[in-house]
Structure 1
Amino acid sequence: MKKRIIALSLISTLVLASCGTKNNSSEQSSTTAATTAAETTAETTATAAESTTETVTEHETAAQNEVGFEGMTEVGADALNMGNYYVSVDSSSSMFKIADCILHVSDDGMNADIIIDSKSYDALFMGTEEDAKNAAEADLIKYTENKSGQSVFNVPVEALDKEIQCAALSAKKQEWYGRTLVFRADSLPDTAFREQRYATAESLGLKDGKYSIDVKLEGGSGKASISSPAEMTVKSGKATAVIEWSSDKYDKMVVNYLEYTPETADGHSKFEIPVSGFDYRMHVQAETTAMSEPHMIDYTIYFDSASIKESE
């Protein structure tokens, strides 16, 4: 497998510590084409919706996204090291497209720069749309413009992995629209946490050798899947796993800023990637070529240590 360090365009302007929902079934080859077509349609529809200026009708009919994940536990500022980190944000509205988000952790708590490509919103309010309608002007969060011409809203963050209410003021309609946001702790790098948050091959006492392990994928449109159990190799206390996608349209994966290229066979893209840890949602990205242009999509992969078996 080939890999290379990805250059991040924003590093030159901001020193960051680093960056950083559902099927778990293995699909038969005969369903690969149907799955790919379904995912393409879902992703293309979402992309088109996100680039459209919001109207009242769209607000009423726009697809509602699931946010967070079952059993999530709040992560406060006291669990994190001070610093600036890229963070993924789930939004309940397909109309509210966040291009990037930078989390700032300090002694005073957490806040985040929500970066939006368009000028679709004049202000944000951290609360419900009803509360926003009655809020004082001083409580509204106005945007600033960065060097790329994007809108940047600096918002307080109560906690990660918590549903937070946010209202956005449409620039065109001057109407408030409610959203639910979740700032994802699983998208932060290991260095962001004060304590280790997962098991490793070393802590589990895994000897060098071949294993199988159950894996669970979350993220994207929910149409793609990966094969489970997956093949895992442990060497010198480090684990890698072979991730086999339900489609052959994935041409790149990114794990901890390293890029991995696939082997493609029998309608599946296969990648051998490092297993950073077990029993937590490991953040990865995968690029699909199934749409009109390549699309990088955020996913998490859960490696279940209780399922590890030695291969014969």
Structure 2
Amino acid sequence: MMKKRYVNLLLAMVSASALMLGSVSVLAESDSAKTESGENAEAADEKDVSTDKENTLEDGVYTAEFDTDSSMFHVNEANDKKGKLTVKDGEMTIHVSLVSKKIVNLFAGTAEDAQKDGADIIEPTTDTVKYSDGYTEEVYGFDIPVPAIDEEFDVAILGEKGKWYDHKVSIKNPVKEDAAETADDSDKKDDDKQSKGKKLKDLKLEDGTYETEVTLTGGTGKATVESPAKVEIKDKEATATIIWSSPNYDYMIVDGEKYEPVNKDGNSTFEIPVSVFDAEMEVTADTVAMSTPHEIDYTLNFDSSSMKKADK
């Protein structure tokens, strides 16, 4: 009988030890899980803070891309898909010039919310844009609140017919204007170096009639001039004969002087002075091909390395 009680007591002690070890193991696992969970939460918080810092712009003015989901609602081509982003006290607003005056209002949100009482409707500004061919036009512009960079958000537009439409837009690649100006200054210095080119005296050519390759840039890119062009050198001055690909140019301006065409039939032809070779020489040409005459800025580049005496 005593032996049986001893065995039962021993079994009870073993069972109690097992229960205690099990409890310790469960508690350890629980503590480990809590620690791991806490570490993950802390890491997530740190990631969110890091992301917030990356997405936060310091106060200032930026140039930024304005993307939309519509070919009818976008930045005017004269502004290269970009608008002016202003950041002040953490609030962001982008000003964009559109393609016309057909969009009369905007709303930062959905079309449904735009029609509710008290909706904060965005009124237009009248902006003047200048195209690459020198033509200017008045269009509507808007100041749009920006909730975040690189994230789509809702913007509703109101057309001339009084109907609201939903659209998605996003702001990308903001560049602070100071940085942009620095880049522009650098480009300008490079341009200044290139613009020096060569003067006629540097070429050391005798008087006579020459031919040289000439390149035209500017405008819409549709107009061209004949190349090679004839260049007459006389009394230390160079005069080029410029023949356009169109008969619609009625005068040119070079260094502030106005030049009339030297022909009455065929494509417009001008005799103009050449002030520099191997660099961009700025000229202006007036075209009557549009509904009203327009002065368009171009550059001509005369390649001195291609100059040769013209055949007699």
Q: Which has the higher contact order (CA 8 A, sep 6+)?
A: 1
TM-score range, shorter chain: 0.3 to 0.5
Structure with bigger helix share is 2
Larger radius of gyration: 2
* TM-score, length basis structure 2: 0.45
TM-score (norm 1): 0.45
